[in-house]
């Protein structure tokens, strides 16, 4: 059977290659190592592997004036206006390298982003402040914007769809949807790889951040800290700290410029910065669709986030507050009462209505579980029609708006 | 017939003594009777009344999902209230219309409650604990009396005895007449007996506490 030459078969679809691409630092290395037209050899290259000294590995930059201090090494009194500078001296890849990076183009295509979204911005979202302290080249500002957008969209989704959720459950659900661990998982699912060491010669499609050396401890800003006082109230958590109800406010992205950070921190800053950049370049409708596809589509069973300490007492308080009859636990069915493994099925009734049902190996266990189920059924109420506030942004016609339900709050015993 | 034994064992007799003459009841002593006994009618969803292929939905019995809000918890203006009410009336009518099979007629062994699904009825299942109403019947003089008794002789007038005497809960006695010295003594006594526990008993108690915490967490 005749082999199809892969290099030929799709060539008409590809863009015409530019004659010389001196800015791609890896091109010479790749061409040196690959046998031409032999596609069976699958060579893997580490982008951060040592690249030999070439004339191609230099870039022409403008000589910085005395006021701006991008590079300390380039501040020599060179007589010429433009001079060639080594890529290794840059803290992060030059923006012009973004348009030649295969990884960035692949990432943009993988996320189904519009062609209008520039690769240079995508490359900038991948630069953590620990790699490049210059705020004009790292993703700190974009990640602040993106964090606020993510928090806003998640909160409005949760509060409009589950209007009765207790605050602690909202915090936990926020953390599960857009918390640091969730964002790092999302980034790894998108196929984001990290550079071993940030630098100007690295492929801009890699996540750039200063890694923690093996054996070193996490920087103190990212470590869990003792709360500023021990009775931190829910109001303080809502007002003063982040959207996940932490005891302390998290470190700002700009403050991490000098420290080495774990991969999770860098990955979450990338995802947030990408959201912020999408908002700036493509507008909020597209960001909302992106958020729905990539974050709300992740399954979260909110009923597992509850932790009741005294469910029976909470339920009787709830019934008294809402004017229902006092809850009564009733034994629906049982088996093996005198055996080693009995099962009791107990329902909690208020008047003639069953509120919840639970099974347990003792009457007490079944009763408590039934009360917890009834409380969950109260808190997990979901209205049928929901219009989130962000869906009416910039619309003049407000006839589609339906006011959302606002509950009077959780049960406080 | 070893298979007869468990069935015979789960046959529940009437708990209440009755003065009516006992009806004659035969035991399932043969295989044939046993088979007939186990020959329960199929679930209604398996016997469609139409000839066209239909969807058979017969999930195993399980606790209702917590995402299905009970009727009582729905707000006043929710559309599901009418839907639930309509379903409730339709289901009750269907259940009352369906005749019970002849094999399960009263007097046969199948009429024993353990063999049949519960019939729809207006009666609710029995309560786990006896329901009570709060009475709020104690006056200030009673409370002073409780405090005096508890102060003078805490060994004699424990919380249990005071609650029995005054017809209130033990919690209320502890609320109005707290005796710190007695509580400390009892606690130290418990601590001493707990110190004698071995490894197995201690771990078993700790595990029980840990399982107890999981009750409210649905795990």
- Measured CA to CA, the distance from residue A87 to residue A90 in angstroms comes to 6
Q: Where in chain A is the domain with CATH 3.30.160.20?
A: 307-379
Tally Cβ neighbours within 10 Å of residue A301.
Answer: 10
pLDDT tens track for A260-288: 999 999 999 999 999 999 999 999 999 99
| Highest mean pLDDT (candidates A348-352, A392-396, B48-52, B215-219) | A348-352
* Closest C-alpha among A330, A58, A279 to residue A152: A279
Is 50 exceeded by the pLDDT of residue B10? Answer: no
More confident residue, A143 or B99: A143
- Measured CA to CA, the distance from residue A244 to residue A234 in angstroms comes to 11
- Measured CA to CA, the distance from residue A371 to residue A311 in angstroms comes to 6
Instruction: Kindly provide the ipTM of the predicted complex, given to two decimals.
Output: 0.73
The average pLDDT across A31-49 equals 44
| Contact between residue A274 and residue A125 where contact means Cβ atoms under 8 Å apart | yes
Cβ neighbours of A408 in B, within 8 Å = none
Tally Cβ neighbours within 10 Å of residue B21.
Answer: 6
So what's the pLDDT on residue B59? 76
So what's the pLDDT on residue A136? 92
B128–A365: do the CB atoms touch at under 8 Å? no
So what's the pLDDT on residue A86? 84
Q: What is the DSSP string of A82-130?
A: EEEEEGGGSSS--GGGGGG-HHHHHHHHHTT--TTS-HHHHHHHTB-TT
| Contact between residue A280 and residue A148 where contact means Cβ atoms under 8 Å apart | no
| Contact between residue A154 and residue A388 where contact means Cβ atoms under 8 Å apart | no
Helix axes A180-189, A263-282, angle to 10 degrees: 80
More confident residue, A192 or B110: A192
* Average pLDDT value for chain B: 80
Kindly state the DSSP code that residue B42 receives in the 8-state scheme.
Answer: P
The CATH fold assigned to A307-379 is Double Stranded RNA Binding Domain (3.30.160)
The average pLDDT across B179-203 equals 95
* Closest C-alpha among A113, A137, A112 to residue A125: A137
- Measured CA to CA, the distance from residue B121 to residue B141 in angstroms comes to 48
Kindly state the DSSP code that residue A134 receives in the 8-state scheme.
Answer: -
The average pLDDT across A342-365 equals 94
So what's the pLDDT on residue A3? 54
Chain B residues with CB under 8 Å of a chain A CB are: 63-64, 66-75, 78-80, 118, 124-129, 131, 215-218
* Closest C-alpha among A310, A302, A314, A300 to residue A168: A302
Interchain CB contacts (distance < 8 Å): A and B: 95
- Measured CA to CA, the distance from residue A38 to residue B24 in angstroms comes to 91
Residue spans per domain, chain B: 140-215
How many Å lie between the alpha carbon of B30 and the closest alpha carbon of chain A? 26
B218–A304: do the CB atoms touch at under 8 Å? yes
So what's the pLDDT on residue A39? 45
Measured in degrees and rounded to the nearest 5, phi and psi for residue A99 equal -70, -15
Nearest to A357 among B63, B73, B118 (CB): B63
Q: List, as own/partner pairs, every contact residues B210-215 make where C-beta atoms lie below 8 angstroms and the sequence separation is at least 24, other chains included.
A: B215/A311, B215/A360, B215/A365, B215/A368, B215/A369, B215/A372
- Strand A343-350 to strand A82-86: parallel, antiparallel, or no bridges (unpaired)? unpaired
So what's the pLDDT on residue B103? 57
So what's the pLDDT on residue A49? 43
| Highest mean pLDDT (candidates A56-60, A230-234, B108-112) | A230-234
The pLDDT-based confidence of B4 (bands split at 50, 70, 90) is very low
Q: Residue B70's closest chain A neighbor by CA?
A: A355
Cβ neighbours of A311 in B, within 8 Å = 215-216
- Measured CA to CA, the distance from residue A376 to residue A356 in angstroms comes to 9
How many Å lie between the alpha carbon of B211 and the closest alpha carbon of chain A? 10
Is 50 exceeded by the pLDDT of residue A11? Answer: no
Tally Cβ neighbours within 10 Å of residue A176.
Answer: 18
For residue A62, what are the β-bridge partners?
A82
> For A380-402, b where at least 16 C-beta lie within 10 A, e where not — what string?
bbebeebebebeeeeeeeeeeee
Residues with Cβ within 8 Å of residue A95, at least 6 apart in sequence: A120, A123, A124, A137
3-state secondary structure at position B141: helix
From the candidate CATH numbers 3.40.50.1100, 3.30.420.40, 1.10.1520.10, 3.10.620.30, the one assigned to the domain spanning A96-304? 1.10.1520.10
Residues with Cβ within 8 Å of residue A57, at least 6 apart in sequence: A25, A51, A86, A87, A88, A201
More confident residue, A349 or A64: A349
Q: Where in chain A is the domain with CATH 1.10.1520.10?
A: 96-304
* Closest C-alpha among A277, A298, A299 to residue A287: A277
| Contact between residue A227 and residue A189 where contact means Cβ atoms under 8 Å apart | no
Sign of the dihedral defined by the CA atoms of residues B63, B67, B72, B78, in that order = negative
| Contact between residue A25 and residue A49 where contact means Cβ atoms under 8 Å apart | no
The average pLDDT across A93-119 equals 93
> Which of A354, A362, A368, A410 is the best substitution to test chain B (most B C-beta atoms within 10 A)?
A354
Measured in degrees and rounded to the nearest 5, phi and psi for residue A155 equal -65, -45
* Closest C-alpha among A295, A44, A287 to residue A187: A295
């Amino acid at each position: 059977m005749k082999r199809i030459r892969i290099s030929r078969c799709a060539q008409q679809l590809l863009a015409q290659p530019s004659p010389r691409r001196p800015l791609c630092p890896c091109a010479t290395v790749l061409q040196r190592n690959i046998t031409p037209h032999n596609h069976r050899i699958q060579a893997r290259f580490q982008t951060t592997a040592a690249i030999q000294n070439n004339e191609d590995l230099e870039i022409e930059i403008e000589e910085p004036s005395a006021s701006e201090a991008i590079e300390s090494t380039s501040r020599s009194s060179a007589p010429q206006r433009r001079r060639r500078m080594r890529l290794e001296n840059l803290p992060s890849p030059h923006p012009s390298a973004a348009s030649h990076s295969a990884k960035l183009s692949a990432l943009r295509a993988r996320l189904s982003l519009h062609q209008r979204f520039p690769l240079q911005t995508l490359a900038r979202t991948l630069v953590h402040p620990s790699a490049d302290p210059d705020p004009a080249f790292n993703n700190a500002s974009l990640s602040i914007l993106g964090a606020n957008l993510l928090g806003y969209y998640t909160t409005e989704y949760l509060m409009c769809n589950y209007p009765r959720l207790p605050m602690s459950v909202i915090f936990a659900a926020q953390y599960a949807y857009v918390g640091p661990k969730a964002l790092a998982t999302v980034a790894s699912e998108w196929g984001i790889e990290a550079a071993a060491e940030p630098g100007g010669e690295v492929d801009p499609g890699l996540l750039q951040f200063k890694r923690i050396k093996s054996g070193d401890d996490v920087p103190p800003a990212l470590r869990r800290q003792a709360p500023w006082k021990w009775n931190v109230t829910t109001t303080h958590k809502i007002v003063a700290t982040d959207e996940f109800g932490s005891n302390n406010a998290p470190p700002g992205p700009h403050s991490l410029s000098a420290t080495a950070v774990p991969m999770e921190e860098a990955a979450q800053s990338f995802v947030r910065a990408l959201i912020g950049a999408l908002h700036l370049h493509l507008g909020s409708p597209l960001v909302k669709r992106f958020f729905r596809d990539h974050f709300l589509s992740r399954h979260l069973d909110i009923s597992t986030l509850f932790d009741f300490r005294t469910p029976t007492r909470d339920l009787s308080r709830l019934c008294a507050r809402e004017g229902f009859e006092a809850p009564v636990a009733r034994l629906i069915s049982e088996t093996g009462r005198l055996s080693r493994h009995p099962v009791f099925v107990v329902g909690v009734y208020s008047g003639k209505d069953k509120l919840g049902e639970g099974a347990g190996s003792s009457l007490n266990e079944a009763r408590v579980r039934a009360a917890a189920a009834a409380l969950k059924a109260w808190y997990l109420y979901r209205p049928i029609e929901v219009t989130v506030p962000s869906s009416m942004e910039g619309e003049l016609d407000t006839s589609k708006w339906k006011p959302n339900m606002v509950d009077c709050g959780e049960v406080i015993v | 017939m070893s298979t007869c034994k468990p069935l015979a064992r789960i046959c529940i007799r009437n708990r209440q003594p009755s003065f009516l003459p006992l009806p004659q009841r035969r035991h399932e002593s043969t295989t044939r009777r046993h088979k007939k006994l186990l020959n329960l009618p199929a679930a209604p969803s398996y016997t469609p009344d139409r000839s066209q292929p239909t969807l058979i939905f017969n999930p195993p019995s399980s606790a209702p999902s917590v995402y299905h809000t009970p009727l009582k918890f729905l707000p006043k203006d929710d559309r599901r209230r009418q839907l639930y009410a309509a379903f409730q009336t339709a289901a009750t009518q269907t259940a009352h219309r369906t005749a019970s099979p002849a094999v399960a007629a009263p007097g046969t062994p199948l009429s024993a409650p353990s063999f049949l699904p519960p019939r729809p009825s207006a009666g609710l299942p029995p309560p786990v604990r006896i329901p009570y109403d709060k009475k709020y019947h104690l006056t200030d003089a009673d409370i002073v009396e409780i405090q005096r008794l508890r102060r003078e002789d805490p060994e004699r007038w424990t919380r249990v005895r005071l609650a029995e005497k005054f017809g209130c809960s033990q919690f209320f006695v502890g609320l109005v007449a707290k005796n710190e010295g007695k509580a400390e003594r009892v606690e130290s006594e418990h601590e001493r007996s707990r110190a004698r526990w071995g490894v197995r008993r201690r771990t078993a108690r700790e595990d029980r506490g840990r399982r107890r915490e999981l009750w409210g967490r649905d795990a």
